[in-house]
Amino acid sequence: MGVAMFYHLTRSSPEETLLALLPRALGQGWRVMIRGRDMGRLQRLDTALWTDPPDSFLPHGMEGGPQDAAQPVLLGQGPAVNGAAGLFLLDGAEVTAEEARPMQRVWLIFDGGDGAAVQAARGKWKALTAAGIPAQYWSEESGRWEKKAESAG
């Protein structure tokens, strides 16, 4: 069982945070799913993964193609059909404890300026830790990412 990592954004955009974390996950040899509720954001991420930074490329695909199961990074709104060991959640996308339990990492990325997003993240923290999933809370309030809380689940 891995860790649910809550990223409370106050300075960075979800895209910037994701683009910083994603290469680390791939460096571990993990396949990942990026799940969002906003298809426009997922399409912008699809473009960014091809071009940001300009001299790099992260192999990925948008959900709904014939090669979904083979994608190292799959962007979409549905289940992680690519054998993902990591799951990024954007825009309040959901995860159950049953889905999170076998993952190496679940990253919940939420906007600290959005009260509803903060409340939803608190609810997810309670649900996942009550189900025995270890969790960490990370904040960038000081200008750099710092772990502010941890639960053994």
Residue 77 token pair = 């709104």
Query: What is the domain extent for residue 110?
Result: 3-151
The total of structural domains in the chain comes to 1
Q: What is the CATH number of the domain that holds 92?
A: 3.40.50.10110
Rounded to two decimals, what is the model's pTM?
0.93
Nearest CA among 65, 82, 76 for reference residue 31: 82
Residue 140 token pair = 């960038």
CB 152 within 8 A of CB 134: yes
Full pLDDT tens readout for the chain, 153 residues: 789 999 999 999 988 898 889 989 999 999 999 999 999 989 988 888 877 666 667 788 999 989 999 999 999 999 999 999 999 999 999 999 999 999 999 999 999 999 999 999 999 999 999 999 999 999 998 889 999 999 997
